[in-house]
Structure 1
Amino acid sequence: MGDHFKTDVGQLAEFLKNLEGCVRELNEARTALQHVRADQIGTPRLDEACDKFQDEWKYGAEQTKKMIDAISEGVKANKKGYEEVEEALEKALKHIEKSGTSGGAQ
């Protein structure tokens, strides 16, 4: 069973970097539109629709950020756990090597 499960800690780090990039890009897209005011666009109906969109975009971006932050925290915790297991395993193997045992082979 264990030989089918592999975790690449480097890929976890890359995933975290991508998640953080998503949040940054969402915020950049939203803030890029903040300087455009609805009253600069045209009709009152269009102005109202633009204001509503801006409010909803902001709310959606904030909710998405919260979810991405929660996922990031989970991935960070898993990454740390895998790194700790790898370090402990490395230590144990070095200890076995130093003590001259071969893990039960005779």
Structure 2
Amino acid sequence: MGAGFKVELTELDALVRELHRSQEEMRSALNALRDTGPKTTGSKELDNACDEFHDSWDDAIKKIADGTQIIEDKLKQTRDTYRDAEAAIRDGFGGKGGAK
């Protein structure tokens, strides 16, 4: 590894959590919009607009959420690889983090 290259595992963990939260929010918003319709707003025009919006964005939001899930999974693999490499190097020097 070159000089100055450092991986912060806690930052990777935070990014994984943020990606997971964002895809949950996208799916939740889509579900809430689906549940808004002729039976809930009381306005036929608004109900139709909600239905049209849902229909036009349903596939796109699903694709974004699915893509976010793929990124999250790959980031977890990357984080775990760095964590394993760090542990192997530490163990290779005969310690669990302390100097000998």
Q: Matched residues in 1 for 2:33 and 2:78: separation?
A: 37
Unaligned runs of 5+ in 1: 101-106
Q: Quick one: percent identity of the two aligned structures? A: 24
Deviation at 1:75, TM superposition (A): 0.5
Question: Structure 1 CA distance, aligned partners of 2:89 and 2:10?
Answer: 18
Q: What is the TM-score when the length of structure 2 is the normalising length?
A: 0.78
TM-score by length of 1: 0.74
* Contact 1:16/1:75 (<8 A) preserved: yes
Conserved 8 A contact 2:34-2:51 = no
- For structure 2, the residue ranges without an aligned partner over 5 or more in a row are none
Residues 27 and 61, structure 1, Cα contact 8 Å, conserved in 2? yes
Higher helix share: 1
CA offsets 1:78-99 (integer angstroms, 9 cap, x no match) = 101101110110111117xxxx
Q: How does 1:52-91 map to 2 (within 5 A)?
A: 52-91=52-91
**Runs of 4+, deviation exceeding 6 Å:** none
